[in-house]
Structure 1
Amino acid sequence: MLGSSFAEEGGAKMPASETLVQQLYGSLDEGQRSAICLPWEDPLRLKVDNNWHIRPKRLRDVLKPDQQDIVRQIFDKLHSDEYKKEVWRQFDHDNQGDGGFASASVAIFGTPGSGKFEFVLTGRHCTRRCDGDSEAGTAFGGPIFYGHAAKSFNEKPDHEGNAYWFQAKRANELFQALDGKQRELALCDTSRDEEGNDTVKLTGKTRGLDGIPVADLTADQKGLVRGVLKDLLAPFRAEDATESMKYIEAGGFDNLHLAYYKNQDLGKDSVWDVWQVEGPNMVWFFRGEPHVHCWAHIKQTA
């Protein structure tokens, strides 16, 4: 049922977005299916990037208005009630030059309702997916991307109007709580390159990662790390946030590393625009220079 949060499939409850994917799939004619539907095994299913279109045809080119509305609902329900207004503001702003939401593209992999499936929506500063846990042991169904260029491509140090800068504020509060020696360990030179899926390639390592290990923090500081993770997950629906934390804990909370990159400080003010949280089975990379790009990938095991 469209307005409900869950629907039954094979005795299991399906989240609202996945239920809507089944509804969308059932509404497609053969021409539409040939445009946006692909086999489950297609490697494109797990691709991530900062500005791309997973299929050549945009929503406006392949779906009817009522079908586009279902896609809007799918996207909406992938986000928390608290933050979805900001997510929509960011998406509408960053894609306005290309025609707004209808300029996004979608793909459906597999067969919703009768086996493994995954829905992926892409556009500028957006890779989102939902899969009803078809991709086992993987939060969000695979790597995701979000970002925002609020006032201009080259944001000022305060990132005025940026929908996601609140996450960096929390991370910088954590940095201020570190002592001198801890700060030396946490500060690194230049961050990772942005190279599609390689940006969020998981290492499986518990040692030798950039920055300071959470194991070296005090109990109070570890509480602040959990606050950072809470803010990172805040824009997303509860089931994805819960699953993400489950897998992060599985990899060992103390195995996480925090890194801040001093060579990419926009205002030369020691308010760190570029930082990350990385563990053996997760990476969340926040690049706030020249504007915000965020890359995330979390699995049960690397």
Structure 2
Amino acid sequence: MELINKRILAFVIYVSITTIYCSANFRISKWNTCPPEESKFLSLEKISLEVCIDECFRRNHCFAAGYKRLYTLCELYTEFTPASTNRGHCVIVKKDDIQSPDESINADQSNECGEWQANQSTGTESTCSKQECQRQEILENEVHQGNMNEIGSKIVSCKRNGNGVVDVQALECSSSGEWEISSTVDRCSSVVARMTQLYCSQSKIQIFTTTMSQPDAAEFCSTVGGKLVKIDEKWKFDAIQALIRDCPGLNTGQYWVDGYNERNKVDDWKFSDDTLVPMGKHFWKDKAPNGQKGDPSCMRMVRHSDDRIGDHRFDDIECWKTFHFICEQN
């Protein structure tokens, strides 16, 4: 009886996280383990484990799917070496452990697609299409812009020429599934010049419109190879402010950034590395920071005033509240 009760308890815990563990069309290859980052070719947000498995199954170049349950984040990999995996909030499902998550697609149909193609199925019909470009090794002076190797994403290269001027060049994953030279570096063209320093300092800024508390946002950033953005200099503050202002749909949001105050004293604002947060009216909203009832406070970027769209400044607020957030690649 005691053993039965333990089994029932375990089942209830799994169901509270997600019900799809009851599915019979795949099995978990590894629990609490994440594949090596260097073989990842695509990240997909806010999808279920079942959909994640389907995305891997219909791609010949996907060898394993890694799923971060806490964040409903799906990551697809071209390789899986058990000896090189890291412990984390992941489950791993290898391609060999998947048995057609979509009944309209069988293994033979999936294998008909070429390298770096995906099977698209509608009823009894199935076609093959390019949805990513072949994974490229990222050099020291290069960063991804967009969703890694997905069509429309870019690889941005920053090089200093003989005259000491920084040249910013980019390859774009085209609709044909091939990397081609891009004439624009950023989807918000007016921001390109302002963001050059960010790219060339080996940084990658990612703005996420999902909402979390600041501690959860910081942990999420770490799962995608980064951290909450540390804005410690005026040029970086101005560049991120311009990105928020000029990119469609971002200019009215509120965003967590790195910065906290445990004792809630005006002069005790620090970044997570214990360096001091810059103060003053250039960085902070009017009358901020003003303290939050003596509780620990965290730092967000919020509109400075209702009539100045995109003019975001620092503001203090309780850390448990949920907002969008900005990550920066390590």
Mark yes or no: TM-score above 0.5.
no
Which has the higher Rg, Structure 1 or Structure 2? 2
Higher helix proportion, which one?
Answer: 1
TM-score, length-scaled by structure 2: 0.28
TM-score, length-scaled by structure 1: 0.29
Higher strand proportion, which one?
Answer: 2
